[in-house]
């Protein structure tokens, strides 16, 4: 997509007409494009005015359930200004800072992982290393274009699979990437949430030997028991080499 | 950014105005401090718009009620994070409602599509264009008046995306136009509405 085309997505973004992957890419663009941020803010405000034309009194039960619901939930604390925040860039700086923090968490998790996997009985290799070094390791590479690249490695003998991402765009705000094994019966079994960060190596949760594919979908943070959106990438393991 | 500016030829009575904007922002602020009565007031001032929007997009009244309820709970939870400097309280909240409504129609479609196999083609859904019995208000009339000045193709693109919940790619396919054309119609239509409604600085 050309640079000029990206700017024209403000309208489609404001009416939620982008799919998950496009939304994620565009939000990444927004973090660095002040003109688009200003235009998006105005167009969101404009789009919301359209709701004036469809106003419909709700059933009384909605009011009751909303008020009963809020009495059980504490409002989140405000986002505190961060010392490093010097420029005036609205909500985007905290997001970027959050992304940087998550990267550190990701590294921490990888350091911790060897101990977690140590009782696997295969010497000092982590499960991830076992998969990557297995004689029967199969690799499937998927190029997501501007959204990044990802490779799934699966070893039937180790019965696990690993995903390696490169330059992966962050999931849309409030969303996360969830991984799935597709079974021979074509059921989708949750295989864990992908850590945030562009370049990740992650051991998928659960048995991998029989999976016919691995999928990635965009889900609400915390994940879903079954996919709620179309996969943004599907790694067909039946054709893996 | 900014509350809706009064219309040049005199703001109609009862229309959302800078006064309403300030009141809603204040109610959200108090909600962030845990004031449930303030949130109930916020609910009463916005529920027809929120529910009507959800209903228009998801069409099923039970689903619309769930979508609206989730949106209100989200708004309550994040009320302390609403920043009046970045937009009106109603706009902020209806953006949450719309995102949830669109997510709902798409996930319902994805669930259906999963039953048919993951590699289905995107098939256009048969949508009737019945406008819900809309709450009559002067503001609604003003918005309708502005929408009526859009070109037919702009209006169609804006309505298919905002109310229909279609992606711009789906709209391009539905209308048999290049993706760039669909994108431009949506943006041009919104920009025209923005200018007519006096949104922004």
Over residues B68-80, the pLDDT tens digits come to 999 999 999 999 9
Of B64, B92, B120, the residue that ends a domain is B120
Cα–Cα distance, B167 to B140 (Å, whole number): 25
Residue B127 has pLDDT above 80, yes or no: no
Residues 6+ apart with CB under 8 A from A187: none
Beta-carbon separation of B158 and A10 below 8 A: no
Cα–Cα distance, B81 to B75 (Å, whole number): 9
Min Cα–Cα distance to chain B from A168, Å: 22
Beta-carbon separation of A11 and B190 below 8 A: yes
CATH of the domain at B162: 1.10.10.10
Cα–Cα distance, A70 to A74 (Å, whole number): 8
- Checking ipTM against 0.85, whether it exceeds it is no
In terms of domains, do B94 and B135 share one?
no
Cα–Cα distance, A37 to A34 (Å, whole number): 5
Cα–Cα distance, A207 to A218 (Å, whole number): 22
In terms of domains, do B43 and B114 share one?
yes
Under 8 Å between Cβ of B40 and B124 = no
In terms of domains, do B84 and B163 share one?
no
CATH of the domain at A48: 1.10.10.1320
Domain that holds residue B139: 124-201
Under 8 Å between Cβ of A219 and A234 = no
Beta-carbon separation of B191 and A43 below 8 A: yes
Other CB atoms within 10 A of residue A136 CB: 11
Under 8 Å between Cβ of A32 and B118 = no
Domain that holds residue A27: 3-53
B112: confidence class by pLDDT, cuts 50, 70, 90: low
Q: What is the pLDDT of residues A50-83, one digit of tens each?
A: 999 999 999 999 999 999 999 999 999 887 765 5
Total domains, chain B: 2
B124: confidence class by pLDDT, cuts 50, 70, 90: very low
Candidates A41, A62, A73; nearest CB to B76: A73
Q: Does B134 touch chain A (CB under 8 A)?
A: yes
A window 159-188, beta carbon within 8 A of B: 182, 186, 188
Of all residues in chain B, the one with the smallest CA distance to A66 is: B69
Enumerate residue ranges in chain A where pLDDT < 50: 84-122
DSSP A76: P
Mean pLDDT confidence for B82-107:
94
Which residue in this structure is represented by tokens 């319902």?
A: B108
Total domains, chain A: 2
Radius of gyration of chain A (CA): 21
Beta-carbon separation of B133 and A69 below 8 A: no
Of B55, B89, B120, the residue that ends a domain is B120
Residue B95 has pLDDT above 60, yes or no: yes
3-state secondary structure of A78: coil
Cα–Cα nearest to B110, from A226, A158, A223: A226
In terms of domains, do A41 and A139 share one?
no
Provide the angle, in degrees to the nearest 10, between the axes of the packed helices A60-70 and B61-77: 30
Task: Please provide the DSSP assignment of B84-108 as one string.
Answer: GGGS-HHHHHHHHHHHHHHHHHHHH
Mean pLDDT confidence for B57-69:
95
Cα–Cα distance, A63 to B82 (Å, whole number): 22
Q: Could you give the strand order of the β-sheet that contains A175-182, starting from the edge strand earlier in sequence?
A: A188-193, A175-182, A213-220, A233-236
Min Cα–Cα distance to chain A from B102, Å: 7
Question: CA B100 → CA A171, B45, B56, B93, distances in Å?
Answer: 16, 20, 13, 11
Min Cα–Cα distance to chain B from A231, Å: 8
């Amino acid at each position: 997509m050309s640079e000029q085309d990206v700017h024209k997505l403000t309208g489609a973004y404001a009416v939620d007409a982008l799919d998950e992957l496009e939304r994620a890419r565009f939000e990444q663009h927004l973090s660095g494009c002040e003109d688009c941020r200003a235009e998006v803010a105005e167009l969101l405000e404009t789009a919301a005015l359209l709701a004036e034309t469809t106003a419909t009194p709700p059933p009384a039960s909605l009011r009751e359930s909303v008020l009963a619901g809020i009495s059980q939930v504490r409002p989140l604390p405000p986002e505190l200004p961060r010392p490093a925040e010097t420029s005036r860039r609205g909500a985007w700086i905290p997001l970027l800072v959050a992304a940087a923090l998550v990267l550190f968490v990701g590294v921490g998790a990888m350091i911790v992982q060897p101990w977690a996997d140590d009782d696997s009985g295969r010497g000092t290799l982590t499960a991830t290393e076992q998969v990557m070094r297995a004689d029967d390791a199969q690799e499937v590479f998927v190029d997501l274009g501007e959204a990044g690249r990802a490779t799934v490695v699966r070893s039937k003998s180790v019965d696990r699979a690993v995903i390696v991402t490169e330059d992966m765009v962050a999931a849309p705000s409030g969303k996360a990437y969830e991984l799935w094994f597709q079974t021979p019966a074509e059921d989708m079994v949750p295989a864990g949430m992908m850590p945030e960060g562009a370049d990740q190596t992650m051991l998928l949760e659960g048995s991998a030997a029989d999976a016919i594919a691995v999928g990635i979908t965009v889900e609400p943070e915390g994940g879903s028991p079954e996919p709620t959106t179309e996969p943004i990438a599907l790694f067909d393991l039946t054709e893996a080499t | 950014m900014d509350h809706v500016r009064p219309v040049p030829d005199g703001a109609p009575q009862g229309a959302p105005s800078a006064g309403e904007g300030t009141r809603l922002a204040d109610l959200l602020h108090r909600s962030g401090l845990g004031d449930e009565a303030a949130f109930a007031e916020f609910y009463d001032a916005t529920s027809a718009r929120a529910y009507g929007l959800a209903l228009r997009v998801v069409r099923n009244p039970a689903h619309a009620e769930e979508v609206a309820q989730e949106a209100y709970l989200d708004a309550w939870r994040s009320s302390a994070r609403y920043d009046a400097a970045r937009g009106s309280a109603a706009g902020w909240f209806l953006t949450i409602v719309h995102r949830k409504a669109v997510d709902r129609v798409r996930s319902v479609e994805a669930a259906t599509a999963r039953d048919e196999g993951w590699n289905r083609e995107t098939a256009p859904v048969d949508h009737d264009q019945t406008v819900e019995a809309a709450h009559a208000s002067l503001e609604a009339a003003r918005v309708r008046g502005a929408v009526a000045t859009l070109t037919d193709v702009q209006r169609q693109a804006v309505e298919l995306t905002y109310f229909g919940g279609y992606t711009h790619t789906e709209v391009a396919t539905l209308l048999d136009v290049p993706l760039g054309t669909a994108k431009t119609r949506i943006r041009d239509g919104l920009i025209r509405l923005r200018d007519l409604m006096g949104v922004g600085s």
